[in-house]
Amino acid sequence: MPAVQEHRFQVSGMDCPSCAAKVETAVGRFEDVSDVTVNFATQVLTFRASADGTRPDAIGDAVRKLGYGVEPIAPRPISRVDEKFRVDGMDCPSCAAKIETAVRQLPGTSDIAVNFATQILSVRLDAATTPPDTVIQAVTKLGYRTQHIESLDGREQAESRAGAAPAADEDQQTWWSTPKARLMGLLLASAAVGLVAWLSGVASEQLAFLPTALIGLAYFGRRAVASARAGTPFSIEMLVSLATAGAVVMGASSEAALVNVLFLLGELLEGLAARRARDGIRALGKLIPRTALLVEGDVTRAVEIDSLSIGQVVLVRPGDRVPVDGTIIDGSSDLDEAAVTGESNPVPKTPGSSVVAGSVNTTGALKVQVTRRVEDNTINRIIHMVEEAQATKAPTARLIDRFSRYYTPIAILIAALTMVLPPMAFGADWSTWFYRGLGLLLVACPCALVLSTPAAIASALAAGARSGLLIKGGAALEAIGSARTVAFDKTGTLTVGKPVVTDIVPIDGTADALLSLAAAVEQGSSHPIARAITERATSAGIAVPTATDQRAIAGKAVEGVVAGARIEILSPRHAAGLDYVPDTHPTISALEESGKTVVIVAKDKAPIGFIAVRDEPRPDAAAAITRVHQLGVTPIMLSGDNRRTAGAVGKAMGLEVRAELLPDGKLQEIARLKSQGTVVMVGDGINDAPALAAADVGIAMGGGTDVALETADAALLHEHVGGVADMIELSQRTRRNIAQNVVIALGLKAIFLVTTITGATGLWLAIMADTGATILVTLNALRLLRLTGREQDRTTRDRRKNLRPVEASA
């Protein structure tokens, strides 16, 4: 980022504020100049410019041409720091937008981001111009409780900076003890007293409900004025305040009181829904115990997990939750990872196996060496990624935001015209049309519309994460649901990724001798086929001689010298090209047509036998492909394997196959498919990185590995192909949910627009056009939190519901 400097000039000769405006306009025309201010009282011009951009003397010359004297004041470097603030009380994305606008008005602020999901405000500050306290004051004036992250305790700071925002104060409170709930209690009490006074004849209807209306007006009016001063004149609070004030002036204080009660009720319900959506993902964080059993020599003691360092060892007893990400150094057990990755069956773990925090140790005691601190463990990284994803706007949300910018001012203009045109043009009654215009102000509230997409996206992302489906943003979530094609890599995705030797067919000599020579050449190789051959030789107890002069020909062959003879292991195509054996040999054809991969073993350029390996399909692959078909998406398999082997695997699973594709061939196939519609690519997240990046959405099946979490647009935290179908179904339901929300929001407004203009409904029903729509939209979006994939059996779901945090104890 280029260095930025603040420049100040003493300008002489300015006689009035219009002179200051002329100077400000002239300086503001320079491209790389920003934050231009001219203080007429002190005769000081201030602006910011990059150090390698416009020269300050050029600015001075421009001001002198206007006829003013200019003397530079020594520039000072801008000390910019990134700060975070926790903001309590945001009920919907409109609140986040108001805060962002207000902070943007402050000098010395940039890179402003308000994450409604985490209730965190991030901003880059020039501390010399705007200290953190100034930001806190600006946001507090809008009616939101704000805390600088630096003022929180150490654990909360660590969680916030890692992205796993600590539960806000309002989230920790019971809903009835929040400030808005207390205000609702005051409004209801005041309204009840007014009702008794009116019914008993002590006061007229206007006077009886006037205190309730004025209490609401004071609360919403103060927030409306603060928002207007902060750059948001058409806020929801402003519309409600204008309608309340107008109703009071007209003598309809009872309706004004009801409008305030109903609107505050809507805000309360929005807050409860937002809290529930946040709890949906924060529930993952509760799986991590607060303490761990630290092993120090022969002594074990309970410590806070925050104090654990990388390299230390903890004891995990049967029934305990694993407190850290780490590696087992002693003991064996089965770990239940259902609550973290969605894996339905307990996973066997032995020394050297990795474990994730939050999983449950079901059988034996384990000693685990810490590999990540608590703020960097898998669960906190998942929470961070999901909350960051919730903060990014989906395409539909961006479209609605643009629409709402014009919708609200236009609706206010229509309301104003409704108040004045009929009386002025047609001699209609002023009070009648003024009253109807007030109703239109309430119909103009855009809250339900603005909430329609973010509420659904947040719920879906949280539901997915709890089922082992990590989707990094609303754009990816929407794209998955619109996909026409899902391209699967074969090895490690549709298959287990661990080939085993199935057939050894010698041409000359014995099977053991053939395997011995092949294993000798393949020793030390990490290729899956090489590992399969060496593991078979080891398990069979076959002596493997030493090979020398080993070398590999990528994708074609590997060779070496064993006991003075040159041994080659070749692909059928390469062997055919060398005229060793035709690739149409009956043995090769038969093995490949049964879904096996064949290699030819040659000794001194003469074939001596065939070895076949098979990478078994994942148990759920065929059922998952069937579900993908049922969801209206075309599955296709991309493989570098030969056509017969790949074709046999594809036929068994019921999907199209593109075989013998080199890496660039896969990219060309992805490009061809993208020309026909949205393409999702599913791979292991390692060897498929180019194809994952080329697709519209890349899904990594990595079992929660670093690569799977970081590289793709989405990741399956377990290794079940069915998760792809679950992800598509979740996305499709989310898209339908968003469409339903938009129809609810706009449909109710359209209905009440007509009934308000015609006089069929009054103010309190007009506010229901927004409050009612907001409630319906919120409840509809929360339905997504209950989504589970059809492949997850009832036993798995029941076990996940019954899992609870377990504290380690000494």
Active site residues: 489
Q: Spell out the residues 6+ positions from residue 742 whose beta carbon is closer than 8 angstroms to its own.
A: 400, 449, 452, 453
Give CA–CA dist 651/246, Å, rounded: 72
H-assigned helices in 497-634: 511-522, 528-539, 572-577, 586-593, 621-630
Give CA–CA dist 224/143, Å, rounded: 10
Give CA–CA dist 692/567, Å, rounded: 37
CA geometry: angle 248, 254, 258, nearest 5 deg: 105
> For 431, which DSSP code?
H
Q: How far apart are the first and last CA of the chain?
A: 51
Give CA–CA dist 199/472, Å, rounded: 57
What Cα–Cα distance (Å) separates residue 603 from each residue in 501, 507, 529, 606?
Answer: 20, 11, 19, 5
Give CA–CA dist 456/463, Å, rounded: 11
Give the residue carrying structure tokens 């090895």. Answer: 491
Longest CA pairwise span in the chain (Å): 116
Give the count of beta carbons closer than 10 Å to the beta carbon of residue 382.
Answer: 27
Q: Spell out the residues 6+ positions from residue 48 whose beta carbon is closer than 8 angstroms to its own.
A: 4, 5, 6, 7, 33, 34, 35, 78
CA geometry: angle 707, 711, 717, nearest 5 deg: 55
Give CA–CA dist 691/664, Å, rounded: 9
* 8 Å CB contact between 680 and 699: yes
* 8 Å CB contact between 448 and 470: no
